Every structure is written in C-alpha cells, then in structure tokens.
Structure 1
Amino acid sequence: MANKVYVIGVGMTKFEKPGRRTNDDGSPWDYPDMARESGTAALADAGIAYSEVQQAYVGYVYGESTSGQRALYELDMTGIPIINVNNNCSTGSTAMFLAAQAIRGGLADCALALGFEKMQPGSLGTVWDDREQPLANHLQALAEISEVLFPPAPWMFGAAGREHMKEYGTTAEHFAKIGLKNHRHSVNNANSQFQDEYTLDQILDSRMIYDPLTKLQCSPTSDGSAAVVLASEDFVDRHQLAGQAVEIVGQAMTTDFRSSFDGTCKGLIGHDMNVQAARQVYEESGLGADDFQVIELHDCFSANELLLYEALGLCAPGEAGRLVDDGATTYGGKWVVNPSGGLISKGHPLGATGLAQCTELTWQLRGTAGPRQVDGVTAALQHNIGLGGAAVVTALQRAER
C-alpha cells in the first residue's frame, strides 16, 4: 500500500520582472539567491533543518546542467541525491510529483521540491538552434489548421481560443474578463509581479498579441523561485506537524496522447492530457470538481484558463463562457480560481510556477492567505501544464481531515 504524502513546508520569493531585482550589495539577483530565499522559507515553515531532507528535486527550464546542485548548496551540502528536472512550464509540478513518488514509494521520509527561473526579457525563444525543436510536430500540425504566427506560445493558445469562439460562440470579452479577474486577485498578493487592477476596457484595449489575446491576458516572463517540503505520515507524526500539514490526496501526471494530434487546436495545447490527469486525480481522491473551493490552474493565457474550466470538469463543453459571465470563478462564486493572480498577473518563472501554485493552495487550506483567503476551504485543486508535453494535476486537503 502506498504511503501518504504531506506538504509540511512552503516558501517562495516575490516574482519579479527579469533583471529588475538586485541584492543588497547591488549584485544581480541570481538563481542561487532565489533558491536560498525560497528554500530557507520552506524549511523554516516546516520547522526542520536541511539535514533532515533525504532527497531533493530541483526544476528549471533555462540553465546549465547541475544548476540544481548549485542552487541547493546555498542551503547546505549533505550529500543527498539532487535530481535536476526540466519539463517545460510544468517543471515545478513535475519536481513535486517526483518528490511525492519518493515518499509514496517508501524511498524517503522527507523530500524537497524546489523550482527557479532566471529569464530573459520578452517572448520565450529557443536556445539550441542546431537540432529538432521539441514542439516541431505540434507547430507543424497547428500550421495545417491555423495561420502561422511567431512567437509560438500566443499563437498556439490564441488559436485554441479562436476555435472555441467559432464552435461555441465565446467572445473576446469572455477571455478579457478572465484577465480582469486575475489582475484583480493579484492586488492582494505581495508576491505577485503585478499588483494593478484594470477595467475591462483597459484589458480589451491593451496591445493585441494574437487576436483575441491582448497583452493583459498573457503571462509575463519572470524571475523567481518557490519550494515545497514533502513528508511521510510517520515523519509528520514524529515532528508533530499534523496541525499544519496538507495531504496530497490525489496526483497524476500525463503526457501527450495520439489524440493530441486530432486536428484541433485545443488538442495541440494539451486538452486530453488535462482531461485524463484530472480524471485520474478525481478517481484517486474520491473528490469531484464540485468538492473544491479554490483552484490554482495554468492560465499562461486567458484562453487556456477558459478551456481548462471544461477540461477539468468545472462545466460541460461549450459552457465556460457562462461560468465567466456568472462570476462562478471568483470570490462569491462557486470556486475561486487563481486567487494568487495566476500566471497572468503573479508571473510565470517556468521552473517555479507549479510550486508557487502549491504554496498558495497550502496557505489557503491552512487559512493563512490573508486578504486573499477563500471562505470555508476544505479541498484545493492544482493544475500545471507544459507543452510538448506534460500535465500535472494535484488534489490537496488538510491533514486532519
């Protein structure tokens, strides 16, 4: 029988515009500085020393090999296995998935998942141009059904948004309202890259990136880090941490299915990965979409958040626009989706994103999220995706439940 897995400590840095932050001595804020800040905070939150961590998984997308070791050496050097993880935008959640597997399988009693990113300003680009690009097949398939635009990310998600508009009558305003919501949520998040509130007209009138997606509906490049300490039930009991522990009651990771190339734009941005990962989590946890009060999901673009309402089972296909119009995904609605501000406003340092989502949901389940706190939280859902591809979905509940 698999061991239970608990989140016992979380920590994160403020997410920043690339290159904006410096250290106190004026030197650049580099990834070891980020890791030291988030990792120290997570260990302090758990009330343990780094020497009690038996394995560590460190996620980043842009960086040299063994950057994970260099990052964690800021905390200590204890000789433990440190595994470097790269899974595109789902890197942070993949690191957490692997750390949870180690505990679930009895290979460790305490494991650390840490993610960071030090990014270049502007749109994401390729580093290695002398070899096949991981998304080459996806982009070729998309080019056969949609006009071509570069950079690829807004094209891929914008095309899926257009497809939903054509099939179900969704409007540009529906997508803009998601950007409006997430920017409004971030006003109360000191860790958010942006903390500005906008009107709907300002969202709609901001610079067009790929119709219907305007700039204020797109996640920015970001620097930052987040960390999560996971532990077994025995570790939690020995350290008397049940009062703060959050249980991972369901978790699944999927990669692309053949159906991803079914001739639709939503297939190419991971629809079936999302659907199948969510189904596995619901089955494992015994919970359904209606049982969660708060959700952190991968809103790299507003179009993706809208499509995820349907993929995660919050509503039937074609009904996501109605959820937006009804205010079902904000405070006072059925769920609060992305209370942190989401990727659109909180920021998106790729390797840290999934772990920052877990950090926010842990605070929500503990009731310590301050002005962002959602009322009556008993269960939380996390979704993180990387194209090319991997989707990670996690269900969380307070340990004492």
Structure 2
Amino acid sequence: HGRTVADPLEGFWENDLLPLLEKDSALQAVTLLRHLQSEQPLAFPDDRIRRTLERRVRQWRALNGPERDIIFRQAPEPGYMAQSDFTHAEELGVTIAGQPFPHLLYHFAMAYSRWEHVGVVLGGESFTALAENLQQALWSLGGVPQNHRTDSLSAAFRNLTADQREDVTKRYNAFVGHYGMDASRNNRGEAHENGAVESQNRHLKTAIKQALILRGSRDFACIEDYRRFIDMLVARRNRQRADAVQAERVHLKPLPQRRTTDFTEIVVPVTRTGGFLVKSIFYSAPSQLIGQRLRVHLYDDRIEAFLGSTLVVSHPRARGRGDGHRVHVINYHHVIHALRRKPQALWSSIYRDSLFPRTEYAEAWKMLQRDLPRRDACRRMVDLLFIAHEQACEAELAHVLAADIDAGHVPDPKALASRLAPRIMALPRDIAVAHPPLDSFDVLLEARA
C-alpha cells in the first residue's frame, strides 16, 4: 500500500538512526527513540512514533541485518541418544507434613521413544545427584544408549575450585565410560539443543499438577510418599510408549555386570564431641567410634559412613542454613548412654533441639523446662529418651506423652515406664501332647490312593 501520511522519520532515519544501526545492529528501537528525543526534543516530545520506529527497525533487520541462527530439527535414532536435565519444582506447591518442600526434579528421557525417568532431588544440581539418578534410570530402562547429553552442567560446578571442577569432570567421564556411553553437552544458553527433555519438562510438570488436583491434596506425609506418587505417575506415562520402547531396546547396549560409583566419598575423623563434620554439617556417631576415621559416602538424600567395609552410621543428608548457624543431625541412640551419665549436659547442649526424635518429645521438654527446676527437668527428659531407646518404644511413648501433655500432666518417666511395660502372661507348665499312632496315617494314604 502506498503511504497516506507524511513519514514522521523523514530526514532522521537516514541521517541519524541508520548509521547507528549499521554500526551495531543490536540497538533496540526504544533506544533509538530515546536518542532522538535527547537530540531533537521539539520534533519528538513523546513516544507517538514508537510503533513506527519498531516496524522500521524490524524491516531493516529483515533486509540488512546479520545472519540468524537456525534450529535444525532432528530425526531421532532408536537407542542412540538419552538426555538429562534438572528442573525446578517449586511451582508444583508440594508440601511435606505441612511444610514447604523446595526441590528439583531430575528428568531423563530417551530421544526416540520418549521413555522417561524422574527423580526427586533434595539438594541442588551436582555430580552426585546426576550420577545417582542417571544410574537408576539406566538400570530401570534395562540398557545403555550410545550417547548421553546434558546441558553445560555449570550449576554442578558452581562454588567449586579449579581442582574440584577438574575432579568432577574426570569422575563424570569415568561414569559414562563405565557404561560405554559417549558424553555430549549442548552449548551454553542453547536449551533447544537438549530439546527432547526440555519439552518433556513442561509436559511432565503439567501432568504432575493435574495428578495433584485429582489427588485432592498437595501435602504428603513424608518424602517417600511423594517419591512413590511421582514413580507411579511416570510409570503410567511410560506404559503409553510401550511399543516405541520395545523397538528402542533392541538397539540399546547391554548393561555392565555391576553398577559404578554414584556418590562422593570423603574421609572424616570422629571427634570427642561424638560425631563428624561433612560439608559443615555435624552428624552423630556411636561413641565407640571416637578417634576412628570413617569413609563417608555422600548421596543426594543420605550419607553412609563406613569403618573399613562395615556400614556403621547412616543419616538423612542435611543442608546448611542461610543464617550461618551450624546444622546438627543427631540420632539420640548414639548419645543416650553418655547423656544418662551426665544428664545436666542436656540443658545447654548446642544440639539439644536436634536430639528429640519426635515433636512430642520436644513438647515434653518445653513443659519440663517450664514446670520443674533445671536439675529435675534434665533428669526426667533424659530418662524419657532412655526408655524410648531401651524398650524400643519411641512411637508408643510419643503417643502417651501427647495424651499427658494435652491433659496438663507433667511427664513422669517412672509412671510412663510402668504403663508401657508388657503384661506378664502366665504360661501353663504342663502341656499334654497326644501322639497319634503311626498306623492311623495308613488310612489317609489309602484314601488318597
């Protein structure tokens, strides 16, 4: 169509704006407009020509701009490529026991069949989270693809020294070498190069949201229940791809005879304080291990400590707090005997609040602190923990404590122990056992014949 009004940029486009664009084509239309307004305030007092300028810049780029990148769509080959990615899951609104649950989802997908595996990751993107979940995905798939593609793994290298980054790179190369896979990475900032799993991230989270709506609640009693929910959802999605998966498995390489290392290993000493430090987190250990050096395997959701080849300590893995205060993970079974000899140490212990195994014990301690002198409060609380340890009745004692606290009764360990003691049953001393004659079995054999 021909122009029906005068060109508002006549005289300014060729003389003022075009030289700037030719010098650097990244300039935006709004930047050029602000330039005009500063140079010619009377001619351009407002933003009235903004849309005209944007169309002019867009047309110039289409005719004279630099070459642009092109996405080349690929025809996937069966058994050739698998892709891994981490995606944030806060938008799902999942809670555990009523508490917010910030977490990531590890997503593994086969490019050809779209078979997928999903893992719940408690920490951030790390080699441990990648290796542990990738290994689980391969063994669930039942075979090994030719190539495994990830993003640039920059998040896994964050806050690492050059030596640590080199170590992670070597460990990752050793991991994929164990399975006979080629490792490839998409270019930084080019998420479309990992497109098979990137697109499935959106579909996966949409499916999870819909399943949560059908479930009627986004709250789960524990992390294991949430993981089971995710596993069942992914299994249903994979059943819809059964034919493609079956065709792809023919082209997969066989799994090796054994799994490989999918954890980070460090060696730590057990100190006189009854535990050891792992990444600035204090974990308790049995007092017999004081002075020993343990090999600790760090997984995404747990730690396992070995003395030689014997597993001696296992804890859920904790993460540091943002306020700088040290986090303590304490198993009261490890310290209860020493604490019973020194009950007054409970009052000012730096990990006292981490010592209580259930909220009912913490509520009992608050009541004892409030209603009893310090000495008696410490003694009673330690006795309660000892009863739970000695009689293996942690849950039962918690229920009884909750009832007493609701009734306003100060917990009394002796009374509670008597209520929890098993009832003594008198067994008869003489039991007459009648032995049937052996020839009576002949009748059964004859009837069988």
Same-fold status (TM-score > 0.5): no
State the structure with more CA Rg: 2
Between the two structures, name the one with larger relative contact order (CA 8 Å, sep ≥ 6): 1
Bigger share in helix: 2
Name the TM-score class by shorter chain: under 0.3
